[in-house]
Amino acid sequence: MGINLGNVFPNFKCSTTEGEMDFYNYIEGSWAILFSHPADYTPVCTTELGHAASNYHEFEKRGVKLMGLSVDPVDSHNGWIKDIQAICTMPNAGKFPFPLAAGSRKLVSDLGMLDPDEVDGSGMPLTARCVFIIGPDKRLKLSLLYPATTGRNFKEIYRVIDSLQLTASKKVATPANWESGEKCMVVPSLSDEQAKQLFPKGFETTPVPSQKSYIRYTPDPSV
């Protein structure tokens, strides 16, 4: 089934490594990321969870809550966490910084999280590497879908969070390969006069053969 950008992300209840949880209650008022992994005790997933745990401060400073998800049970998650902690540098080795949820097959199927090309020993499709970024309004802002064999690039996840949070509050878009603090683009819906009022640092228009003035750069308004 899956979920489309802009849709309200569905609520669900599940068992997690931090007890029974209602997803909406957990993320209330915050940006959030729900990300799935194919299976516990698998090598690529271990490096991903290790990176997210070791660098949890990157999510905290952006006001983002994390929840991991697979169809493995909580007891398996809790055992696996010890392996994750053993291969990464965590500031609080005694406590994993975010919950891992034990999702049902119906939930991961409804969210479009299954990878038909990767199956478990019983022939059932594994959970793909999904990244769902959800805004404070509980709507889906961005989704990334990786196959089970390809680990995620967390630098890109930080980058898109920065872009999403900036463009949610400012009338700008971010160009290819943009990084926080770099020049942004004035959205086409603004006239030049409106842009002058909104961006006191000004903007510059890039000349193009069409002579249309739609490529306009302005300093990052959050800086």
Known catalytic residue at 137: yes
Which residues share a beta bridge with 132?
Answer: 34, 143
Which member of 75, 117, 120, 137 is catalytic? 137
Integer Cα distance of 102 and 112 in angstroms: 16
Instruction: Kindly report the number of other CB atoms within 10 A of residue 174's CB atom.
Output: 20
- Which tokens go with 54? 């070791």
Q: Which of 169, 158, 105 is nearest to 136 (CA)?
A: 169
DSSP class of 128: P
Known catalytic residue at 45: yes
Integer Cα distance of 139 and 153 in angstroms: 23
Which residues share a beta bridge with 133?
Answer: 33, 142
User: Do the beta carbons of residue 191 and residue 205 sit within 8 Å?
Assistant: no
Integer Cα distance of 127 and 40 in angstroms: 11
Which member of 40, 45, 72, 130 is catalytic? 45
Residue carrying structure tokens 């992994």: 37
Classified as helix, coil or strand, 68 is strand
Which are the catalytic amino acids? 45, 137
